[in-house]
Amino acid sequence: LRPMRVVLASASPARLEVLRRAGVAADVIVSGVDEDAVEAPSPSALTLRLARLKADAVAARVGATDEAVLIIGCDSLLEFDGKAQGKPADAETAIRRWRAMRGRSGVLHTGHRLIIKTARGGVRAAEAVAHTTVHFADLSDSEINAYVASGEPLWVAGAFTVDGLGGPFVTGIEGDHHNVVGLSLPLLRRLLHELGVDWTSLWGPPQVLR
């Protein structure tokens, strides 16, 4: 039997790569949700609300099929000094953030919402937030300027990556490191279990990883 169709409601190539390396092939449908227009009482709640909006928007666009479809919606934010830090608006903002974060720690929240649309028209959903503490190196001003000049911090929540140029600037992680990339595989497995789906049933044919 071929695995259930999986749709990732995110434009993030990092999330898609996490799934691929875990043996899950996914289609991508971008939700089009205006993230800046959404509010919530806390950074954690905001990630879950955004994940819900993204998954629900894509689920509404996935029409009736003769197979079950799993839609995965995610959103990540770094909480630092009690405030949500999404993608920085510009280089100056990214530099200010890194000067504040260096030598300190933040919490990366990722909201997850899973929706399964069955072939008979049924819908099941589960959702939760994963939390990972990230410890940052004490960067020099020249390192911060060079990193921001690379452009990478402008495209990611919290202005850093752990799987790219920003990796050497993260000294430690408490929790699931996949969550820092943007999608927690252990949480995804648990939510699937709540929906009656075994994680291994999503595996497709063996893939050649590069």
Q: Are strands 69-80 and 5-8 parallel, antiparallel or unpaired?
A: parallel
Residue 55 is classified by DSSP as H
CA 166 to CA 139: how far, in whole Å? 11
Tokens 């289609």 -> residue: 27
CB atoms within 10 A of CB 17: 15
What residues contact 43, with CB distance under 8 A and at least 6 apart?
77, 78, 79, 83, 84, 107, 109
Catalytic residues, by residue number, are 75
* Angle at CA of residue 148, ends 147 and 149, nearest 5°: 90
| Burial label, 151 (beta-carbon count in 10 A; 0-12, 13-18, 19+) | exposed
Query: Which helix (H) or strand (E) segment is 37 a member of?
Result: none
103/203 Cα distance (integer angstroms) = 40
